[in-house]
Structure 1
Amino acid sequence: MQTESNPSVLARWNSLPPAEAAESILPCCGSHAWAEALTTHRPIPDPVQLLHLSDQIWQSLPPEAWQQAFDSHPRLGERHAKAATATSLTWSSQEQSKAEPTEALRAANARYEARYGRIFLLCANGRTAPEILSALESRIHNDPETEWRESGEQQRQITQLRLKRWLGGT
């Protein structure tokens, strides 16, 4: 997703009190630890640095912070989540706009959750339900450690997409 950044978004965010800044950026990832850590690095001079820092912080977080981010997403093909902000739910809906829920996707989601104990996470922006189902069916055979890392990479991609959207002010 190519989004022109709005310099005033980052400048305004840099000037917010820490708690407000963390709350403002939270919908981009869903992990409070990520949002708070990113906030401590302010002022962040430009979008490139923000995206780079986001990746560094994400990779350094403990598993419970990753799980909190995962929990902020609805199941693919659905519109509600275990724990999410209104903004992140709106973004999820936009990202999944081509993924109409199907019985096959619901069933595959259920199998995935039974196997791994969490929802299937995929950067679904622009993907159709059949494309999502194909990715899910492929990944359900991963061992738990490999799938944890893949879910983390998908969350990183979603966060990057959302940060760009956030920077654009949309």
Structure 2
Amino acid sequence: MSEQTTLERFNALDPAEAKRQLAACLDVARWVDDVEAGRPYAARQALVDAADRAARQLTDAEVEAALAGHPRIGERAQAGHNVEASAREQAAVDRSDAEVTERLRAGNAAYERRFDRVFLIRAAGRTAPQILAELERRLGNDDESERAEVVDNLRQIALLRLEQVV
């Protein structure tokens, strides 16, 4: 299917279905509404640019809501989250060795104690050791720097998932 045909199909969806598909990318009502309201998009890049801009402006409450559905790195997503996308994105973690798996588990726990939220990273395209290195690095962040990294990773994940939609 051509890029334009896929975009045309997305533009033609009824608003409720478009919002459902967008929420699977980033489950933040304001982001979903902003991106859906921009339809019809003349080009795929215009859609991606609008989604990118909207995702850069996440409030603390929106970050919290978005993180509520994300599984810990190395764990399976639960119902109500985009289970298939999470499994696909974390595929490299599933193939990691026992030592890396244990270090990720310990790192997740340390991160949650330090920042009071689940560790989130765009796992797609990264190996388990790369994810572990980022987790360990980010444990040294101050609160403001880490919040910025979380927002950026939510944005990256949303855009990757949006690419699957269109």
> What TM bracket, shorter-length normalisation?
0.7 to 0.9
1:78 paired to 2:65? no
Q: In 1, distance between residues paired with 2:22 and 2:6?
A: 11
In the TM superposition, structure 1's runs of 4+ consecutive aligned residues that sit over 6 Å from their partners are none
1:15 paired to 2:12? yes
Q: In 1, distance between residues paired with 2:76 and 2:12?
A: 33
Deviations 1:35-60 (A, max 9, x none): 11111111111110011000111123
Q: Give the 5 Å matches for 1:1-170.
A: 6-81=3-78, 84=81, 88-100=82-94, 102-167=101-166
**CA contact 1:73–1:83 (8 Å) conserved in 2:** no
Q: In 2, distance between residues paired with 1:150 and 1:58?
A: 12
Deviations 1:92-119 (A, max 9, x none): 1111101136121111101101111111
Shift of 1:7: 2.7
Deviations 1:18-75 (A, max 9, x none): 2221112211112222111111111111110011000111123322112222222211
- Root mean square deviation of aligned Cα: 1.9
Q: In 1, distance between residues paired with 2:45 and 2:2?
A: 10
Aligned residues, how many? 161
TM-score (norm 2): 0.88
| Runs of at least 5 residues in structure 2 that lack an aligned partner in the other structure | none
